[in-house]
């Protein structure tokens, strides 16, 4: 059992049809047929959407995605049409709203890895492969890979795990041409993001993207290179052989699995509310990631 501890009721806005409540985003469609994505401050961990929000998180994700879309514009087009808040929507939607093209989405999480950790490390320890790709002996948690790899996953519903799959399985599901274009675009965007982050003292360990088609044009969608979709590590603290400090929800994960939370991850009980110090520390990490990457202060 997992999913939402307390599933929110979507806000009803004249002229918008609510389509979906995700872990973080609410998805609507306007009268023109465009999608309206609103990033909430919800936080997920261990397949649960937690009852405690992280202030400003949705705005950080949205503004950082917009910044990255600009950095990537020459590599791949994106789905953003505008950022205006729809008439009649809450004022709180400002800064967290994207009006986007409606795409024919590819049902694959496009994952790129430049370093070994997470589910990739677990598979490597079992078989010396990640998504069927053979890797050299001697790698440990945090090791840089000889070259970045494309390690796709299936998209899972809220409360379920994405499942790593082979490139061949992606080609079987979406066709060889689409699979090849997906791999090329994923690795190109990862390489650009890695280089920009490196210049700012940050390691982009791995990241996931979503792509869709606008006609025959491959378009990058959803969020891109944020702390929710990527592992960012401070370069000056990188030390292979251990878990790395990161710009993400690690404070949340650590507290939930500590005795202080009183929560048994293996039980079917939902996790408890987060204490204020964990909320504050997590918000600070998201803001720090934004400021270091963009070079601008968070308003």
Q: Is the pLDDT of residue 120 over 80?
A: yes
Res 249: pLDDT: 87
The total number of residues written for the chain in this structure: 299
- Check if the beta carbon of residue 267 is closer than 8 Å to that of residue 257: no
* Rounded percentage of the chain residues whose pLDDT exceeds 70: 97
Q: What is the pLDDT of residues 41-98, one digit of tens each?
A: 999 998 899 999 999 999 999 999 999 999 999 999 999 999 999 999 999 999 999 9
- Which has the closest alpha carbon to 232: 86, 61, 92, 101? 61
* Gap between the terminal Cα atoms of the chain: 39
pLDDT for 162 beyond 80: no
Q: Do domains 1-102 and 104-234 have the same CATH topology?
A: no
Poorest-confidence range of 97-106, 155-164, 196-205, 280-289? 155-164
Q: Is 64 left (phi over 0), alpha (psi -120 to 50) or beta?
A: alpha
The pLDDT value recorded for residue 299 is: 77
CATH, range 104-234: 3.30.470.20
Domain residue spans in the chain?
1-102, 104-234
| Homologous superfamily of domain range 1-102 | Phosphorylase Kinase; domain 1 (3.30.200.20)
For residue 264, how many other CB atoms are within 10 A of its CB?
A: 10
How large is the average pLDDT for residues 221-229? 96
What is the C-alpha separation between 169 and 85, in angstroms, rounded? 40
DSSP symbol at 123: H
User: What is the spatial distance between Cα 219 and Cα 213, in angstroms, rounded to a whole number?
Assistant: 6
Nearest partner of 114 among 190, 197, 226, judged by Cα: 190
- Between 154 and 83, the higher pLDDT residue: 83
Confidence check: pLDDT of 1 > 60: no
């Amino acid at each position: 059992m997992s999913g939402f501890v307390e599933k929110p009721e979507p806000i009803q806005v004249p002229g918008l049809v609510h389509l979906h409540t995700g872990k973080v985003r609410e998805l609507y469609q306007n009268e023109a047929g465009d999608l309206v994505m609103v990033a909430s401050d919800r936080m997920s961990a261990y397949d649960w959407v937690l009852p405690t929000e992280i202030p400003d998180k949705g705005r950080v994700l949205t503004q950082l995605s917009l910044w990255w879309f600009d950095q990537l514009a020459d590599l791949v087009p994106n789905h953003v049409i505008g950022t205006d808040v729809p008439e009649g929507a809450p004022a709180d939607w400002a800064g967290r709203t994207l009006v986007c093209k409606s795409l024919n989405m590819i049902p694959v999480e496009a994952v790129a890895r430049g370093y070994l950790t997470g589910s990739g490390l677990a598979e490597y320890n079992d078989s010396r492969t990640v998504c069927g790709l053979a890797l050299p002996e001697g790698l440990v948690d945090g090791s840089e890979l000889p070259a970045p790899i494309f390690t796709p996953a299936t998209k899972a519903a809220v409360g379920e795990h994405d499942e790593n799959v082979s490139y061949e399985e992606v080609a079987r599901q979406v066709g060889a041409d689409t699979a090849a274009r997906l791999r090329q675009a994923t690795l190109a965007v990862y390489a650009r993001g890695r280089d920009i982050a490196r210049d700012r003292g940050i390691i982009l360990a791995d990241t996931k993207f979503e792509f869709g088609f606008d006609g025959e044009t491959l378009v990058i969608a959803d969020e891109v290179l944020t702390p929710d979709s990527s592992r960012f590590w401070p370069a000056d603290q990188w030390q292979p052989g251990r878990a790395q400090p990161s710009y993400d929800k690690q404070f949340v994960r650590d507290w939930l699995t500590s005795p202080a939370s009183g929560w048994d991850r293996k039980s079917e009980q939902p996790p408890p509310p987060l204490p204020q110090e964990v909320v504050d520390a997590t918000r600070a990490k998201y803001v720090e990631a934004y400021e270091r990457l963009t070079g601008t202060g968070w308003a």
